[in-house]
Amino acid sequence: MQKITTIAELRKTVRLWRQQGLSIAFVPTMGNLHAGHIKLVSEARKKADKVIVSIFVNPTQFGVGEDFESYPRTEVADTEKLVEASADLMFLPCTLEMYPNTASTTITVGKLSTIHCGAYRAGHFDGVATVVFKLFNMVQADIAIFGEKDFQQLAVIKKMVQDLNSPIDILGVATEREDDGLALSSRNGFLTRREREIAPKLYQALCQAQVSVIKEMDFNTIEQEQKAALEVAGFKVDYFSICRSADLQPATERDNELVILAAAKLGKPRLIDNVHFSKK
């Protein structure tokens, strides 16, 4: 596996692959890789001749008081995992390479960036959209692979690609979970032993809400009951929302394609999860 740190060297390698007629799949990450990330790499291997994985802890998507400085950075372990997963290239740029001192352009994906997590993390999705678009321009891949755990992030990226006519396909991959249902996340390592025992209740609440939706119970009642149950369990809930999967707006009983989105703090980490399904 090649390890590249500069845009110039990355483009040189990609140009050579293109001359050979090879297709490219891209998996952008912030490192501290776990089985969920490796699942994305495995899916990428099925979709293209070459797989590029980026590792960059993007400062512009972290707000004031968030965990940018403490976000786990595990380059040696990540490298070993990517070699084992048969990635072809690891792109590991520094902050100055990604954001030269003269950089002043930001991408905003309208209303979709201001709801749910966007309402609690001002500017977060602007940082996500901007860095992902920059990476797309650098890598020039045919397809990019993202996990569905951050369903809103995936929706923002799909909307951005559609609106800006980017020549890249976006594939979402189902969330990888622990045996007890907890969605894999780099932030799970911040949970205490007791919090780790409680954490699966977030996914359990989502699954219970899905059953209630299918039974055609009142959506507002479902949301309030599950919020209350999570608060009793020890979570500080930001939101628990039944939405249309197409645009993440509040769903009504007439909508069939749904996603239930949730975000809640449990001790230090903020956990996010979702279930998406067809009501009929």
State pLDDT tens for residues 202-250.
999 999 999 999 998 999 999 999 999 999 999 999 999 999 999 999 9
Question: b/e for 227-236, b at 16 or more Cβ within 10 A?
Answer: bebbeebbbe
Tell me whether residue 37 is one of the annotated catalytic residues. Answer: yes
Residue range 2-173 in CATH 3.40.50.620: yes
DSSP state of 180: T
Q: pLDDT value at position 280?
A: 75
Q: pLDDT value at position 202?
A: 98
Nearest to 260 by CA among 207, 217, 182: 207
Q: pLDDT value at position 100?
A: 92
Report the distance separating Cα 49 and Cα 86, nearest Å.
Answer: 11
List the catalytic residue out of 34, 37, 116, 276: 37
The two beta strands, 257-265 and 236-244, are antiparallel
DSSP state of 192: -
Report the length, in residues, of the chain. 280
Give the start-to-end residue ranges of the domains of the chain.
2-173, 186-272
Q: Find the mean pLDDT for residues 100-127.
A: 94
Q: pLDDT value at position 227?
A: 98
Q: How confident is the model at residue 96 (pLDDT cuts 50, 70, 90)?
A: very high
Residue 275: in which H helix or E strand, if any? strand 270-278
pTM: predicted TM-score of the whole model, two decimal places: 0.95
Q: pLDDT value at position 65?
A: 79
Tell me phi and psi for residue 173, to 5 degrees.
-120, 135
Residue 243: in which H helix or E strand, if any? strand 236-244
What is the fold of 186-272? Pantoate--beta-alanine Ligase; Chain: A,domain 2 (3.30.1300)
State pLDDT tens for residues 20-71.
999 999 999 999 999 999 999 999 999 999 999 999 999 999 988 788 988 8
- Exposed, middle or buried by CB within 10 Å (0-12, 13-18, 19+), for 251? buried
Neighbouring C-beta atoms of residue 90, cutoff 10 Å: 22
Q: Describe the strand order of the beta sheet including 257-265 as a list of residue ranges.
A: 236-244, 257-265, 270-278
